Amino acid sequence: MAAFAAAPALSARAFFAKSSVRAKKTSVRAQARAALKVEAKKKSVGDLKKADLEGKTVFVRCDLNVPLDKDLKITDDTRIRAAIPTLEYLVENGAKVLVTSHLGRPKDGPEDKFRLTPVGARLSELLSCSVSKVDDCVGDVVKDAVGGMANGSVCLLENVRFYKDEEKNGKDFAKQLSEYADLYVNDAFGTAHRAHASTAGVTEFLSPSVAGFLLQKELDYLDGAVSNPDRPFCAIVGGSKVSSKIGVIETLLNKADKVILGGGMIFTFYKALGKDVGSSLVEDDKIDLAKELMAKAEEKGVKLLLPTDVVVADAFAADAKTQTVSVDAIPDGWMGLDIGPDSVKEFQKELNECKSVIWNGPMGVFEMDAFAKGTFAIADTLANLDGITIIGGGDSVAAVEKAGLADKMSHISTGGGASLELLEGKVLPGVDALDEA
Ligand SMILES: Nc1ncnc2c1ncn2[C@@H]1O[C@H](COP(=O)(O)OP(=O)(O)OP(=O)(O)O)[C@@H](O)[C@H]1O
Ligand SMILES: O=C(O)[C@H](O)COP(=O)(O)O
């Protein structure tokens, strides 16, 4: 069992103090309303007090699936920091905390590049207590580790995906995972859309099974605040393809006052409107759907906004020739890779009238400087908005972070696929399996 040196703590209170900087613009009313809605549904780790936790072994599923470079150094520890409030709460209340996660997508059992060792080292820097790490997540290794744990200590188990039965949600494997624990906390929002043994199956064997603080916070914002938004409420949907965002656009058309579209998907809408789009990305089999979505917006009285000008390029390349044109004048052979300055101005005007905004998907190919202006301008507008701003995971989070504006948003989701599924209105198995409050 490897032991990591304990380091200064980031207590649950300190974390929330920090996140309240990020959430500074969130109205107390919206927070309270969202919290009530979710807490009314699932039991929370906050419902467990010292008497429930002291000396108990708690199996905590986190999503510590962080990016590593070729030297196995963590390049973004956001998900580890986001897991701290729950872990610190359990430590403060004298639990023996078994932390589990997946890392990457190992296909054939244990592989060194997918070990959680770097994550353990970072956890130990962030937590106030001693953190150990073992090289398995089931069996005698775990039994021995638990036997040696003091109250208020943390042991990180090895990557659960080293076992195929994790993703198959194997019942025997779920039982083995739960063998040495008394109760279960799921704080892995980023993996809550997966019905795996460690995210769902274990709940059959551990009671109570409750939501961690991060999971709750994500649900509060992405579900609570979107279901009962402060109005006017605007949804911005971008990204490459309409096909990956159909569910999100449809759901948000039922909830938002305005929907702004950007990214590669807009060209399918322009084609549906009979415009020439040059060699821009188009999904021909989604043209009818685009027409339906525009008709639905009109029927519901939702303002559906498409850019009026775009930055086009003669190739999909950082050093391509570019020009800004009206969407009615896209030259043959050129492709649209960003929204233009007139559209940015129009979108800014619309956004500045809003009290809450949710954003999923970039406005252009923000990875290349020549096509990043639209995305960064929208990020900047949200950063300065007097209202709730929620960034719904995936590439939009990467864009906001690249712009250095993450701290200025009300909420940045730690889940890509999970946030998308939640916004589509789907039930997340990792949430569904938890005890009712
Ligand atoms: N006009 C465009 N043409 C082609 N690609 C584009 C265009 N605008 C944006 N993109 C690309 O879309 C990608 C993001 O699309 P995606 O649908 O994956 O968005 P996302 O929702 O942010 O990510 P995720 O689905 O992981 O949450 C970016 O890599 C960006 O470069
Ligand atoms: O990074 C993610 O989106 C989550 O950790 C889930 O990972 P997965 O897509 O491999 O299940």
| Tens digit of each residue's pLDDT (9 = 90 or more) over 25-58 | 333 333 433 433 443 489 999 999 999 999 999 9
C-alpha to C-alpha distance for 170 and 266, rounded to whole angstroms: 42
DSSP letter assigned to residue 133: E
User: Residue 24's pLDDT is what?
Assistant: 34
Is it the case that residue 305 has pLDDT exceeding 80?
Answer: yes
What's the token pair of residue 206? 């551990």
Q: Any catalytic annotation for residue 25?
A: no
Residues 238-285 have pLDDT tens digits of 999 899 898 899 999 999 999 999 999 999 999 999 999 999 999 999
Shortest-distance Cα residue to atom 15 of ligand 1: 239
Choose which residue among 365, 391, 421 to substitute to test ligand 1 binding: the one with the highest number of ligand atoms within 8 A of its C-beta: 365
Choose which residue among 61, 63, 65 to substitute to test ligand 2 binding: the one with the highest number of ligand atoms within 8 A of its C-beta: 65
Share of the chain above pLDDT 70, in %: 91
Relative to the CA of 399, which ligand 1 atom is closest?
A: 22
Q: What is the CATH number of domain 2-215?
A: 3.40.50.1260
Residue 244 class from Cβ within 10 Å (0-12 exposed, 13-18 middle, 19+ buried)? Answer: middle
User: Can you give the pTM of this predicted structure?
Assistant: 0.84
- Cβ-contact 108, 102 below 8 angstroms: no
Is it the case that residue 19 has pLDDT exceeding 60?
Answer: no
User: Residue 41's pLDDT is what?
Assistant: 83
Q: Considering only 109-118, 217-226, 227-236, 248-257, which range has the smallest mean pLDDT?
A: 217-226
User: Residue 393's pLDDT is what?
Assistant: 73
The residue behind tokens 């800004």 is: 324
User: Residue 225's pLDDT is what?
Assistant: 76
C-alpha to C-alpha distance for 18 and 10, rounded to whole angstroms: 10
Q: Which amino acid is present at 391? A: I
User: Residue 383's pLDDT is what?
Assistant: 97
Tell me if 309 is assigned to a ligand binding site: no
C-alpha to C-alpha distance for 392 and 284, rounded to whole angstroms: 27
| Banded pLDDT at 293 (limits 50, 70, 90) | very high
Q: Which residues contact 274 (CB under 8 A, 6 or more apart)?
A: none
Taking alpha carbons only, the member of 146, 77, 133 closest to residue 100 is 133
Q: Any catalytic annotation for residue 417?
A: yes
What's the token pair of residue 128? 């106030």
Is it the case that residue 224 has pLDDT exceeding 90?
Answer: no
DSSP letter assigned to residue 10: -
Location of each CATH 3.40.50.1260 domain in the chain: 2-215, 229-423
Is it the case that residue 11 has pLDDT exceeding 60?
Answer: no
Q: Any catalytic annotation for residue 394?
A: yes
Share of the chain above pLDDT 90, in %: 82
Q: What is the CATH number of domain 229-423?
A: 3.40.50.1260
Separation of 434 CA from ligand 2 center, angstroms?
20
User: Residue 1's pLDDT is what?
Assistant: 55
Residues 161-198 have pLDDT tens digits of 999 999 999 999 999 999 999 999 999 999 999 999 99
